Amino acid sequence: MALLLADGLKALQTATIASALPFAMVLLAATWGLLKALHRDATKRGIRYQALNLSRPAHRQQGGWQRRLRNILMFSRRTHVTRFIGEVVQPACDEVAEELRKQGYEVQVKNGADGRCKLTVGHGADVDFSYEVRPRTFLLPRFAPRDNNDESSDARKYFRAEVYLREGGQDYDVMGWSREEVIGDLLDQYEKHLHFLHVVR
């Protein structure tokens, strides 16, 4: 109202343009940040499905195909998954963390109240690496064998030991794996993360 009374519509138009210019700069900076984040996300997703030439030989599972079949058909209870994380995943993360500390890296291994285990490797100004295994609940499928005498809510659920990285869940289960297999998977994910940092630097 003051601008209209002082100099009419022309003064109001000038003030609008002058006040919008700094805001336009903020929008441009936000757009640049968004494009950079989208590029990083697309690169990370591409590396996730990219087949890297790993130097280590393929690990042969002990127990043969029978063990693999048991793992496929396994519908574990929470206690089994939390015990697996504590007895297999935790020592695997501790071994890798100890070796990384010898190389001069800052590494933390933390446990959650629900039984999860998380390893974090600090990379300073670059994106840190995290590898976490946590119990995740699902409804038991109809084809799965069940105890008809047990009608409790827990009897209709099963749990998986799923892997989570910094960008979220990876939708695969490590329940029943050996310590060496968990370490191999952790190193595979860490190698992909280092390749991602190489690509986006």
Identify the pLDDT of residue 8: 64
Q: What is the pLDDT of residues 40-76, one digit of tens each?
A: 777 777 766 654 444 444 455 567 888 888 888 889 9
Q: How far is CA 107 from CA 29, 88, 183, in A?
A: 34, 19, 15
Model pTM score: 0.72
Distance, in Å, from the CA atom of 82 to the CA atom of 115, rounded to the nearest integer, reads 5
Give the pLDDT score at 53. Answer: 44
Low pLDDT (below 50) residues in the chain: 51-58
The rounded distance, in Å, linking the Cα atoms of 93 and 186 is 8
In sequence order, what E strands does the chain have?
A: 107-111, 117-121, 129-139, 157-165, 168-173
C-alpha count within 13 angstroms, C-beta hemisphere, residue 199: 17
C-alpha torsion angle, residues 123, 58, 160, 109 (rounded to 10): -30
Kindly report the average pLDDT of the chain as a whole number: 85
Query: Which tokens sit at 9?
Result: 């519509």
